[in-house]
Structure 1
Amino acid sequence: MSAAPAYRLFFAAWPDDACRHWLDQQVERLHDACRGRQVPPRQLHLTLAFVGEVDPARLSDVYAVGERVAAGAEACQLRLSRLAVWPNGIGCALPARVPGRLARLARALNGALADAGLPHEARAFKPHLTLLRKAQADEAGVPHPDAPALFAVDHLSLVVSRLTRSGPIYQELRRWPLPAPAPTPPA
């Protein structure tokens, strides 16, 4: 009898309709300038922490990490204002600045995964939404968005990635809301 295949997991947030509309426009602009393979609109997401291959027997441990981290985090907004094509051919939408709450969320996820003895990433968090793969352009050829978009990071999703011949397919396994930030006391 063979063992159950491992899950390929990551934590992410999905754009709301307004942000998805903006991303759809940017994908077209970037593709016109840089070619490449467009990421399907339903696949657009912000990866917060890549987990990697996890034995199905440890899935409840990953759920516990998501629940614990989400309960201690706060929702925030990411202002997407730039497009880029990286040397590896990834065309993406990026923020000019990373909100502190978002950076803390990514660190908390990776720390909790490490504490639980689960796979986690050691590399620095670089928030981006992948729009194209195999894009070709130098920085001079990358268009600039007409206006920025706000990405509401108001939830945390655990996603499984299944690799197919036509590309990855993502399925949300669980979602936790992120609490609204505590109000700031008046000065």
Structure 2
Amino acid sequence: MSDETPEPVKRLFFALNCPPEQRKAIAQWRSALQSRNGRPVPAENFHLTLLFLGAVGVAQIAEICTAAAKVRVPGVALRVALDRLDVWRRAGVLVLAPEQAPPELLRLVYALEQAMLPFGFEETPKEFRPHLTLMRDYRAPVPESATPPGFFLRADRFALFESHKGRYRALAEWPLVPA
């Protein structure tokens, strides 16, 4: 028997946070869909994931933050249109996604992926598909909407979040526009 206790880990991801007034507007729009399917994501958890890291040893967090701080940022606040309602069947989620992802967003994600390579989180990074998850365990067609989604997620910073018991908490954040 080994006396070593397993290293504590946290489930981490990089994301753009959704501002409170926007969360409220999206949540109201979602409730107007009157979908009886799936579990609604709490509005306070609305975000746009940039890069999912998964289980990370607590000891590595400081190094990850140092690497993230060196990422080349767009130099402008991001404005991501969330103008398409979609169902991702395999994941079982109802999402808001952009019809067209802004190039600055794609460059930021690529820079983050490159910065995280030395940590060896994921051998094969998944194709980045920007989205905001509205419902989980969703097993129905795309619901009809009286008003099409016309949201813009505005972000002037990106953050490293911890997912713990269904709650998301920002551990650190970095400006997208250098001071």
Which TM-score applies when normalising by structure 2? Answer: 0.86
Percentage of pairs with the same residue: 31
Q: CA deviation at 1:27?
A: 2.3
Q: CA deviation at 1:13?
A: 1.0
* Pick aligned residue for 1:64 from 57, 66, 80: 66
RMSD: 1.9
1:3 counterpart = 2:6: yes
* Pick aligned residue for 1:26 from 19, 29, 36: 29
Which has the larger share of helix? 1
Unaligned runs of 5+ in 1: 181-187
Distance 2:80 2:9 in 1: 32
Q: 2:74 aligns to what?
A: 73
Contact 1:82 1:93 in 2 (8 A): yes
Distance 2:62 2:9 in 1: 13
Distance 1:175 1:49 in 2: 14
Q: 1:110 aligns to what?
A: 113
Moved more, 142-151 or 72-81: 142-151
1:90 counterpart = 2:93: yes
Q: Tell me: CA distance 1:147–1:119, structure 2 relative to 1, closer, same or farther (3 Å).
A: closer
Distance 2:39 2:149 in 1: 24
* Pick aligned residue for 1:176 from 159, 174, 177: 174
Q: Tell me: CA distance 1:157–1:145, structure 2 relative to 1, closer, same or farther (3 Å).
A: farther
Q: CA deviation at 1:144?
A: 6.2
Distance 2:49 2:149 in 1: 23
Contact 1:10 1:50 in 2 (8 A): yes
Q: Tell me: CA distance 1:112–1:158, structure 2 relative to 1, closer, same or farther (3 Å).
A: same
